[in-house]
Structure formats: structure tokens, C-alpha cells
């Protein structure tokens, strides 16, 4: 694993291992968070040895030089392989021609097969209209869509897609020792304190 990667320490087993983890909020919706937020509780999903709750857990970050830095503390929530962590993706398009409740939308897809594949998925706009794809037009990803009301030309058509994500399988029980800084790299104040 690359230097600077995270690793965990499980207190009940007194073992340390390198992991890649996914963060999601603590609650019934497990939406993928891009990073660990300092002001909110989070759940880290990872692959590791089975441990029984409520074991205490420490999450460290491996630094290039010096000691490891503590990122988070907590306890083991559960060992649940059926927990779904979901990533949300939003595709956007632009209304090209508008005629009452019908509109031709472009720039969301760029070939006919994609329009046909995503035909059952509901569309929405930034201004609150809901709709669906009626049929693909041409071979360049244009599509005819029907909405529940008249679209404005400055509106944006959105399609929300969800995908299950998994943590990377990078379990490694070996964690290198922290590297000590040598005296030549220390600032002058620290050298005086050491003497």
C-alpha cells in the first residue's frame, strides 16, 4: 500500500492492519461520503478479520516521516456483509426543443443504445418537473421526453442513478513502523530542546 494510506487498530485483538475503507453516514441510508467529515458521525466499511462488537477501534494515517497520526476513534458497529453502501451519480442534459409538455433533450447521452437502456429511469428538472423518456431520436443521443408541465428553456434535465460500491480488498496485517526524523531535518528550536 502507498505511503500515507490509512490503517486501523483493533483494541480487543491488539492487532494492526492496513485497510482501504468507505465512509457512509450513521443511519438507515448508507450513501457514500467522499471523505471523513470532522463534524459528523460516520461508519467505515472495510474488509478485515472478524471481531465481535463492541470492540474499540482506532483509525490512523501513515505519515511520510514521524509518528502515525490519529484520525478517528470509535467502536465496532457490526459485522454485516449485507450492508449496502450506495454511490449516487447525476446525469444532466439540456432541453433542445420544447413543445408544451414534450421536449427534445440533448447532451445527456451520446448514442442511441444508452437512451434505450435508460428509458425506464425517471427524469427530473432543477425547477421541479418530473418526466420520462419517450423514444430516442437519431444516433447521437438526442431523446424525446414527456414532462408533467411546460419546461423553461433555461431548465436542466437530470437523471439520478445509484450504484452499490465495495471497499477495495487490501487487507494487510503488516504495518511499517513510523520513521523517525533525523536531527538534520529538525528546526533549530527542536534541536535546542533535545540538547
Per-residue model confidence (pLDDT) at position 183 = 54
Give dist(CA 7, CA 62) in Å, integer. Answer: 7
For 88-164, the fitting CATH number among 3.40.50.10490, 1.10.274.50, 2.70.70.10, 2.40.10.190 is: 2.40.10.190
The DSSP letter of residue 184 is G
Phi then psi for 109, rounded to 5 degrees?
Answer: -130, 165
Mean pLDDT for each 10-residue chunk of the chain (195 residues)?
A: 46 65 82 82 82 80 74 83 89 94 95 95 96 95 95 94 87 62 54 50
Supply the pTM of this predicted model: 0.69
Per-residue model confidence (pLDDT) at position 188 = 54
47-85 as b/e: b if 16+ CB within 10 A: ebeeeeeeeebbbbebeeeeebeeebebebeeeeeeeeb
Cα dist. 146→14, 96, 124, 141, 191 in Å? 60, 13, 11, 16, 72
Per-residue model confidence (pLDDT) at position 140 = 93
CA neighbor of 167 nearest in space, from 51, 19, 2: 19
Q: Where in the chain is the domain with CATH 2.40.10.190?
A: 88-164
The DSSP letter of residue 156 is -
Amino acid at each position: 500500500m502507498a505511503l500515507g494510506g490509512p490503517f486501523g487498530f483493533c483494541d480487543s485483538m491488539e492487532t494492526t492492519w492496513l485497510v482501504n475503507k468507505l465512509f457512509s453516514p450513521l443511519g438507515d441510508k448508507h450513501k457514500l461520503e467522499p471523505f471523513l467529515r470532522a463534524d459528523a458521525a460516520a461508519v467505515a466499511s472495510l474488509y478485515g478479520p472478524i471481531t465481535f462488537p463492541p470492540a474499540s477501534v482506532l483509525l490512523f494515517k501513515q505519515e511520510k516521516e514521524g509518528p502515525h497520526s490519529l484520525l478517528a476513534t470509535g467502536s465496532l458497529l457490526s459485522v454485516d456483509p449485507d450492508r449496502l453502501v450506495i454511490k449516487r451519480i447525476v446525469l444532466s442534459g439540456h432541453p433542445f426543443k420544447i413543445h408544451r409538455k414534450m421536449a427534445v433533450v440533448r447532451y445527456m447521452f451520446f448514442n442511441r443504445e444508452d437512451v434505450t437502456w435508460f428509458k425506464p429511469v425517471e427524469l427530473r428538472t432543477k425547477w421541479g418537473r418530473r418526466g420520462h423518456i419517450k423514444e430516442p431520436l437519431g444516433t447521437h443521443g438526442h431523446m424525446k421526453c414527456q414532462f408533467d408541465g411546460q419546461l423553461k428553456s433555461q431548465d436542466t434535465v437530470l437523471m439520478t442513478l445509484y450504484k452499490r460500491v465495495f471497499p477495495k480488498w487490501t487487507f494487510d496485517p503488516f504495518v511499517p513502523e513510523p520513521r523517525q526524523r533525523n536531527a538534520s531535518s529538525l528546526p533549530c528550536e527542536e534541536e535546542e530542546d533535545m540538547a
